[in-house]
A and B are shown apart, each in its own frame.
Chain A
């Protein structure tokens, strides 16, 4: 292969130019029929291609100018109607269009240039084995042996073993340091993850309030066939203190009301109140909140993976990948006639976990 060098390049340059295909390091392919392109034989076509390429570069610059104009001129809140696309933000469309066309034109120009004006004769280059020459391998082996001898790695058994031991042990601090990725809150101090996952905000007498309005719910508010999403009354205060959504993620329930005669089974005796049933809203599969309720069949369907629970039959799984029934919350009414929880859930809500049992 010929060297390309700024010093010697001048002297043998003419030799390269004469025999065009015989470029350094490769030769043209034999036997391949080559059809000259229009730009090879017709100077006019070549000039036309040159003009095309140059105009694309020129247009690209124009579109960059248009981009800047659009950035400055179009208000960010302007909405325009474009057929097919509908109502769209004018700024975004204009910026994307001008930017995209500007870039695209550079690409098409370069490709047009190469396809029309640069040589289209394929050339051949030899490959070489990946295998190193035998001498190099021998040298490497000799170097390794020398290193082994000089360091005494093979002889000093004690050093070798302690070295390996030290190298195995030294990453331990980096693992230990990860322990405080979880710093339990004061309330969670001393509890295991399984303990924390097994309790929710619900306790005996927690008032059930509807999610969003935080209005307490009376049995009459819920007609037969109705469904509301609900949370415990103290959730609002808890969230102000903790500034997170953790309690909500466990305590969310749905209330459904059905004709008491349709209830075939419950998770506990008398856990309903006049046909009103409270179930966790968090799917026992992988934890999506559920609110797709089919009134006629009393089936509750998870929108994520389609686990289906029968609320008239103790929340048991009737279809889909969830293995556990939907936990039921026992409910009743307080002196003022509002719905309240009679206790926390009897089993952990949400996805299964190793320690759940």
Chain B
């Protein structure tokens, strides 16, 4: 505050002007110094946000040239192979954007790439939130918003790649229409209304356009805003570490650190999307040609995020029933309506299911390490593997060609694997988590295995155990022992029958299953004893470090204690660093 530049003066005056009208300084006082914790995985959500901004930005540019019309025109642009070909105005204008508008292809490819990244980032962000238990109280609403955003992201992506009206996008729409028609009772009517009659009609692209550029992005934008406001007011969760508790946030303040880091990261994401958009071709619509309902190219693949649905459609056996003259297409309804319905609903409800099973009503601001919630982690892995198998199904033709396999055997493998592999993954993940918990317990009880063998003066060999660092200690001891809900009594002391017995019993069983075999955390006394023991080991080893000819000694004995010249303490390290400069 020693000097105030004219710009700052003007800024201050503006702040006062605005403050007098909307009271903004109250907000600034609370928030300019707001602390955010740091972890690389917290950037995943940022990537989703920033790529969404790039999608919006590039999308606005594309609307300036794209014509959402299915009126037939003769192409006369500069892409020679298609000159003179009859096509829809939508496809022709997409070609113009790609070949006749300078930078148009860049915008189109940036739009497509950022959309792909947007959805991928949302998915991985969701994994992070799931596996660390960040969805727990008080953040359940934000989890649901996130699930809705992911769903809308899929719809936005699908509606987008259906617009250019090339052969691939039209095929996608044809499949969507086929699925729609399979819906019981309303299917044909819904399809006829949406397409203004039969497929492909002349109206659908202009209708879809409004949905793609206004309706879906509008809802996404509104929900993203709420999502961020909730993150803001609830404060970000943090990973366990020294000084980090459930009641504080340890990290860096918004101003200046996150202003620079997050702001800078926006430009990094934006810049990388621009580079990729310039250097890597995506969706080369000019190769596919204009859409016509009687042609298709082999190896048709949807964008990655639709792959699991396409895979489900491929893997499903061909069951159809006709009841009282009405057709029920199980082969389409199950994979394309019921399955995604169950997947997204289960995902959305998960926080409530887990809270009900565990009976946990506390606020959780400190994240779980995935190993400390083995059942949740195992569920998550199971879901991911199930999804991945469907995805493999979506690529079965590509896989069949690449690995010289029969498509039929891939499908049969998947039909079985979808039911067999996820449970195996569940068990393996849970056991792995429990093993990691045991290892943590070992570390607390005996210190960290240094791998150094020490021979004591009386001839005994010991392996030196080191006390845990402050950070490791804080991270490992962050685990809390959860107790399963108690088993209910059939009747109370007075012999009154417990009406809710079966219900409570189920909850007790589920909760025991959830917390089941968790490895108990050692008591503070045990930990201290263990660390003390490790400290004792280190003490035995200490004279070696002080020994004048220690270097000599180490070299003579194979020298694994320390590399000569390597700093042995933090202070030494800092001093070394200093002297190097």
Q: Are B317 and A321 in contact (CB under 8 A)?
A: yes
Contact bitstring A80-93, B, C-beta under 8 A = 1, else 0 = 00000100110111
B124: CB under 8 A from chain A? no
Of the listed stretches B268-276, B370-378, B451-459, B477-485, chain A binds B268-276
- CB of B552 within 8 A of chain A? no
Query: Is the Cβ of B277 less than 8 Å from the Cβ of A96?
Result: yes
B405 to chain A, nearest CB (A): 13
Do the beta carbons of B314 and A321 come within 8 Å of each other?
Answer: yes
Question: Which chain B residue shows the least CB distance to A94?
Answer: B278
Chain A, residues 276-304, CB within 8 Å of chain B (1/0): the string is 00000110011111111000000000011
Interface residues of B in 374-410 (CB under 8 A from A): 396-397, 407-408
A95 adjacent to B294 (CB under 8 Å): no
CB-CB under 8 A from A197, the residues of chain B are 181, 188, 198
- Residue A165 lies at the interface, judged by CB distance under 8 Å to chain B: no
B contact residues around A32 at 8 Å (CB): 242-243, 470-471
Within 8 Å CB of B99, what residues of A?
76-77
Stretch at the interface among A245-253, A266-274, A333-341: A245-253
Q: Which of A41, A120, A125, A354 contacts B581 (CB 8 A)?
A: A41
> Is B72 a contact partner of A243 (Cβ separation < 8 A)?
yes
Q: Does A142 contact B (CB under 8 A)?
A: no
Kindly list chain A residues whose C-beta atoms are within 8 Å of the C-beta of B310.
304-305
Cross-chain contact of B247 among A25, A127, A243, A322 (Cβ < 8 A): A127
Distance between A57 CB and nearest chain B CB, rounded to angstroms: 11
Contact present for B185 and A100 (CB under 8 Å): no
Complex interface: stretch among A3-11, A143-151, A216-224: A3-11
Total interface residues in chain B, CB < 8 Å: 131
Residue B187 is within 8 A (CB to CB) of chain A in the complex? yes
Asked if A71 is at the interface (CB within 8 A of a chain B CB), the reply is: yes
Whether the Cβ atoms of B257 and A355 lie closer than 8 Å is: no
B193 near A181 with CB under 8 A, answer: yes
Q: Do residues B581 and A44 form an inter-chain contact, with CB atoms below 8 A? A: yes
A3 to B335, CA, bound (A): 57
Rounded to whole Å, the gap between the CB of A66 and the closest CB of chain B is: 13
Question: What residues of chain B lie closer than 8 Å to A289, measured between beta carbons?
Answer: 293-296
Q: Is B202 a contact of A306 with CB atoms below 8 Å?
A: no
A214 contacts the other chain (CB 8 A) = no
- Interchain CB contact under 8 A, A252 and B293: yes
Of B25, B179, B191, B573, which is within 8 A of A35 by CB? B573
B298 within 8 A of A: yes
The stretch that binds A, out of B26-34, B352-360, B532-540, is B26-34
C-alpha spacing A122/B251, complex, angstroms: 5
Provided the pairs A250-B198, A357-B322 are in contact, do residues A102 and B256 lie with their beta carbons within 8 angstroms? no
Query: How far is A306 from B396 in the complex, measured between Cα atoms in Å?
Result: 9
Indicate if B264 sits at the interface (CB-CB under 8 A): yes
Query: B260 to A110, Cβ gap below 8 A?
Result: yes
Q: How would residues 23 to 42 of chain A score, 1 for a CB under 8 Å from any chain B CB and 0 otherwise?
A: 11110011111011010011
CB pair A29 B242 closer than 8 Å:
yes
Minimum CB–CB distance from A305 to chain B (whole Å) comes to 5
**Residue in B234, B256, B264, B573 whose beta carbon sits within 8 Å of that of A130 in the complex:** B234
Q: A35-B570, A92-B278 are in contact. Are A108 and B327 (CB under 8 A)?
A: no
Measured in the bound complex, the distance between the Cα atoms of B279 and A5 in whole Å is 48
- B202 contacts across to A, CB distance below 8 A: 243-244
Quick check: B106 and A181 within 8 Å, CB to CB?
no
**Residue contact A303 to B294, C-beta cutoff 8 Å:** no
Interface residue? B411 (CB, 8 A)? yes
- List of A residues within 8 angstroms of B488 by Cβ: none
* Chain B residues, CB < 8 A from A192: 188
Q: Is B120 an interface residue (CB 8 A)?
A: no
Contact A249 B294 (CB under 8 A): yes
In addition to A102-B271, A109-B264, 7 A-B residue pairs with Cβ atoms within 8 Å of each other are A93-B278, A100-B276, A127-B248, A229-B294, A249-B200, A291-B296, A305-B314
Pick the 7 closest A-B CB pairs, nearest first.
A96-B278, A286-B178, A104-B271, A110-B264, A107-B267, A100-B275, A249-B293
A-B contact pairs, 7 of them (CB 8 A): A111-B268, A118-B256, A126-B249, A287-B178, A303-B397, A324-B320, A353-B182
Query: Residues of A at under 8 Å CB distance from B?
Result: 1-6, 9-10, 13-14, 23-26, 29-33, 35-36, 38, 41-42, 44-45, 71, 76-77, 85, 88-89, 91-97, 99-111, 113-115, 118-120, 122-127, 129-130, 178-179, 181-185, 188, 192-194, 196-197, 211, 229, 231, 243-246, 248-250, 252, 281-282, 285-292, 303-307, 317, 319-324, 350-357
